[in-house]
């Protein structure tokens, strides 16, 4: 019979993107001795990003993987224990001071506090060339990468509010934005639809899907589209393709364990990272479907660590009362 390994941790951080690493930096500096489990993709979505130009402190820009390594080293410098591993089961307790977390279907951690920073995953089209050019002309974030396509033609896929908002954002810096809508109508609100329609350099293609992305060793140079009604194919010369068909929060393991909204994002109290479970906090894209930026994720990571510090201080004060 195998011995069950159990470890007691004051502050456990699940996830290792900008939110998780920032939480680790602040928690370590507060001497909370944080333990972080990175998940299967240490660094999160930014490890799939080539250039990051909008994160403060990098005047010449930096690649996503290098920035995540910088944050990791900074967290470790203050004593954060960063480990590679996957959370396979959680049991949050609403009326106890300990939460049970299982790692890799084996080791068990009893955590006094938990910071969830598992992020969200962009939805993709699912074609092979999309993966090939991801980071080299294909992006899921216009605000992050639109600047690199200034004065060029781009295409964007999507029909909701996010796609409409990103299309109008791109239209401010790109010569033409080709907006590809799979169905015969928009899913966006009337206000967003009106904004798109009133933007002269946005060209809308209804009943249109991307069949293939063309490019070379320098990146994307065209997309092949297909008309769903006629099956007619068109080649649209573009330098970039933005996919804006939504994100999926990485919360599958937390369903039924913590309060989620209708889209699967973790609910937090306004102005706080606290969840409905005492001692459990959430930060970054796992609880933010509006901004989804590295800098906002880092900001909420800071908030989570401060919230944990205050939560533990209140616990100690309550114990000292008795």
Catalytic residue among 53, 81, 95, 144: 144
CA atoms of 201 and 194, how far apart (whole Å): 14
Which pLDDT score is estimated for 97? Answer: 79
Q: 2 pLDDT band (50/70/90 cuts)?
A: very low
Catalytic residue among 69, 70, 104, 141: 141
Q: What domains can be seen in the chain, in order of their start residue? A: 6-121+247-321 (3.50.50.60), 124-243 (3.50.50.60)
Catalytic residue among 145, 285, 288, 307: 145
Residue pLDDT, tens place only, 40-70: 888 888 877 667 888 999 999 998 899 999 9
Model's pTM, two decimal places?
A: 0.84
Residue pLDDT, tens place only, 258-268: 999 999 999 99
Per the annotation, the verdict on 11 as an active-site residue is no
CA atoms of 51 and 65, how far apart (whole Å): 9
| 306-314 mean pLDDT | 96
Per the annotation, the verdict on 141 as an active-site residue is yes
Task: Outline where DSSP puts E strands in 76-207.
Answer: 81-83, 87-91, 99-103, 107-116, 120-122, 138-139, 153-157, 176-180, 202-205
Which pLDDT score is estimated for 287? Answer: 97
Beta carbons within 10 angstroms of residue 211's beta carbon: 14
Which pLDDT score is estimated for 1? Answer: 37
List the beta bridge partners of residue 178.
155, 203
CA atoms of 276 and 266, how far apart (whole Å): 9
| 68-73 mean pLDDT | 96
> Which of 29-33, 43-47, 202-206 has the lowest average pLDDT?
43-47
Residue pLDDT, tens place only, 130-170: 999 998 999 999 988 999 999 999 999 999 998 999 999 99
Cβ contact 52:61 at 8 Å: yes
| 197-226 mean pLDDT | 97
Cβ contact 19:284 at 8 Å: yes
């Amino acid at each position: 019979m195998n011995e069950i390994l159990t470890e007691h941790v004051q502050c456990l951080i699940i996830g290792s993107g900008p939110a998780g690493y920032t939480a680790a930096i602040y928690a370590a500096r507060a001497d909370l001795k944080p333990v972080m489990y990175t998940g299967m993709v240490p660094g999160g979505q930014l490890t799939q990003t080539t250039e990051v130009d909008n994160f403060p402190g990098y005047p010449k820009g930096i690649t996503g993987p290098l920035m995540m390594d910088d944050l990791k080293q900074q967290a470790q410098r203050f004593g954060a224990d960063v480990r590679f591993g996957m959370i396979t089961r959680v049991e949050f307790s609403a009326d106890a001071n300990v939460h049970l977390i299982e790692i890799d279907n084996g080791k068990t951690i009893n955590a006094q506090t938990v910071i969830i920073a598992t992020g969200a995953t962009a939805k993709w089209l699912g074609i092979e060339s999309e993966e090939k050019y991801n980071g080299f002309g294909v992006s899921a974030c216009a605000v992050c990468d639109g600047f690199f396509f200034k004065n060029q033609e781009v295409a964007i896929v999507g029909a909701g509010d996010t796609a409409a908002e990103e299309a109008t954002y791109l239209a401010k810096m790109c010569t033409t934005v080709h907006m590809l809508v799979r169905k015969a109508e928009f899913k966006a609100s009337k206000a967003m639809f009106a904004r798109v329609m009133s933007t002269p350099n946005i060209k809308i293609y209804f009943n249109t899907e991307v069949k293939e992305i063309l490019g070379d060793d320098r990146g994307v140079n065209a997309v092949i589209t297909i008309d769903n009604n006629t099956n007619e194919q068109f080649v649209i010369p573009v330098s970039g393709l933005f996919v804006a068909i939504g994100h999926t929060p990485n919360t599958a393991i937390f369903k039924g364990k913590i309060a989620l909204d209708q889209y699967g994002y973790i609910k937090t109290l306004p102005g706080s990272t606290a969840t409905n479970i005492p001692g459990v906090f959430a930060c970054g894209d796992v609880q933010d479907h509006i901004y989804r930026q590295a800098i906002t994720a880092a900001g909420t990571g800071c908030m989570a660590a401060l919230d944990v510090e205050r939560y533990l201080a209140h616990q100690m004060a309550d114990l000292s009362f008795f």
